[in-house]
Amino acid sequence: MKKRSTVVLTGIALSVVLLAAGTFGVARSRSTDDKPAGPAGNAVGPQTASLGPVSGASLDKMITGLQGRLATAPGDYVSWSTLGLAYVQQAKVTVNPEFYPRAQGALDKSIQINKDDNFLAYAGLSALAGARHEFVAAKKYAEQGLAINGSSAILYGALSDAEIQLGDYTQAFDAVQKMVDLRPDTPSLSRASYTWELRGNIDQARKLMQRALDGAPTASARAFALFYLGELSFNEGDANAALGHYRAALEASPEDSQALAGKAKAEAALGQNLTALDDYAEVVNRTPEPSYIIEYGELLQSLGRTADAQEQYRVFAATQKLFEANGVKPDSTQTLFYANHGEPDRALASAELGIGTRPFLVMHDAYAWALHVNGRDQEASKAIDRAMALGTRNALFHYHAGMIKYALGDLDGARTELKTALDMNPNFNPLDAPIARKTLADLGGLP
């Protein structure tokens, strides 16, 4: 459940990729239904959006082109909106949240010029709020955009992303269905896949992601779908199949960092540790995304390379400070890191902030674990039940549930949950999976 991004601007048809923060969210849309309206409600023509086809250009080129356009046409609110969205994507691609204030400025400028029918700016504001983990605001902006253009697949995607993170699952799944009905393409089908993954129906999730792959219009979209097919396989314990998907994703898009991180994860699960370490070193050098840094550090720690692991954890801490300085709210990644690395008080503080802004099932799991490491297992039991309420197949959830039950003296329940975690994915985490195996052996649950 990672992140994805691309932005495309083609003639008068504007296409934008929205990325939901947190655990999942993508849209790659070429929807003519999402064509921005001009002041009189007409489609914006070349006189307003005349950058020309740049679908193969880099984000840097797009941003440079938009900046050039706005230097000569500062009243072009469509270009301001697009620039704001491009900055959001640039922040994610470079893992540099200092682009978020730039995005805010560009989107605010767009709204100042046209606040009445400027649905694209609201899509951008929703994307920016989601990236900062401000999901109440993200939902509000998506709804404001839909009030202007109720046929926008982009905005239904943004709405569903926010609602999922807010734990409004029924509404989120309805929004995804509306997105699919409007445009059954890679962005909508990949979101639909995720709704079934959350509900534990992996076969349906895989079928929909395969459809997303079959219809992928670009190499990056193809890499995205292949990566998530890999994730579905890895999470079900099939590291070999996962590795095949990750490699195919890299063949489609050699610079795809999440595919390289997935490849490293699968290699580690298969015992190919030297190759995995090389790949992790490359990916964190290229894209210092917090989850990649932690994965790399924990693999190093599991191999006894404690000093090297600590160096990665220091990088993680520095990255977190940068995110916090640019308005990004806490999430499950940092909560679990603090809980697993000797900072229980900090984990709980992070969890309490995170659950207030993002009551998604992944955050409930992190909150449960933070409560557990603080000795509050009765409360942790309730929180982990909320994390598992949809029937999501997640080995880490079951591991946490097992250890919480063990702490509460429910040994049969602990045995069941730990066995479920290891049956589902015996290599779900290089540090936690060995603990699960040892605890299960102590409970007499291993043959």
Lookup: tokens for 11: 């003639």
**What is the bridge-based pairing of β-strands 13-16 and 7-10?**
antiparallel
- Picking from 441, 445, 369, the residue whose alpha carbon sits closest to that of residue 407 is 369
Taking only the tens place, the pLDDT of each residue in 209-242 is 999 999 999 998 999 999 999 999 999 999 999 9
- CB-based contact 189:180 (threshold 8 Å): yes
Taking only the tens place, the pLDDT of each residue in 352-372 is 999 999 999 999 999 999 999
Q: Do 7-183 and 321-442 agree at the fold level?
A: yes
pLDDT class for 46, splitting at 50, 70, 90? very low
pLDDT class for 48, splitting at 50, 70, 90? very low
Asked whether residue 144 carries a pLDDT value surpassing 50, the answer given is yes
User: According to the model, what pLDDT value does residue 285 have?
Assistant: 94
- Across the chain, mean pLDDT equals 87
Asked whether residue 58 carries a pLDDT value surpassing 80, the answer given is no
**Range with the largest mean pLDDT of 1-5, 51-55, 300-304:** 300-304
Higher pLDDT, 416 or 50: 416
User: According to the model, what pLDDT value does residue 13 have?
Assistant: 26
User: According to the model, what pLDDT value does residue 93 have?
Assistant: 83
User: According to the model, what pLDDT value does residue 447 have?
Assistant: 63
- Picking from 9, 89, 86, the residue whose alpha carbon sits closest to that of residue 51 is 9
Taking only the tens place, the pLDDT of each residue in 8-37 is 222 222 333 333 222 233 333 333 344 433
| CATH architecture assigned to 7-183 | Alpha Horseshoe (1.25)
The alpha carbon torsion through 277, 292, 347, 304 (nearest 10 deg) reads 0
pTM of the entire structure? Answer: 0.85
User: According to the model, what pLDDT value does residue 132 have?
Assistant: 92
Reported residue count of the chain is: 447
Place of tokens 């959001």: 88
Domains of the chain by residue range: 7-183, 321-442
For the segment 369-386, the average pLDDT, to the nearest whole number, is 98
User: According to the model, what pLDDT value does residue 5 have?
Assistant: 28
Lookup: tokens for 167: 């734990």
Taking only the tens place, the pLDDT of each residue in 75-112 is 999 999 999 999 998 888 888 889 999 999 999 999 99
Asked whether residue 269 carries a pLDDT value surpassing 70, the answer given is yes
Place of tokens 């404690």: 306
Beta bridge partners of 13: 10
User: According to the model, what pLDDT value does residue 51 have?
Assistant: 25
User: According to the model, what pLDDT value does residue 331 have?
Assistant: 87
Residues of the chain with pLDDT > 70, as a percent, come to 87
Q: 49-63, 207-221, 314-328 — which is least confidently predicted?
A: 49-63
User: According to the model, what pLDDT value does residue 325 have?
Assistant: 85
Number of neighbours of residue 375 by Cβ within 10 angstroms: 10
How far is the C-alpha of 307 from the C-alpha of 312, rounded, in Å? Answer: 9
Q: 39-43, 265-269, 357-361 — which is least confidently predicted?
A: 39-43
Q: Identify the CATH class of 321-442.
A: mainly alpha
Asked whether residue 57 carries a pLDDT value surpassing 90, the answer given is no
Taking only the tens place, the pLDDT of each residue in 185-200 is 999 999 999 999 999 9
Q: For residue 341, what is the DSSP state?
A: T
Asked whether residue 69 carries a pLDDT value surpassing 50, the answer given is yes
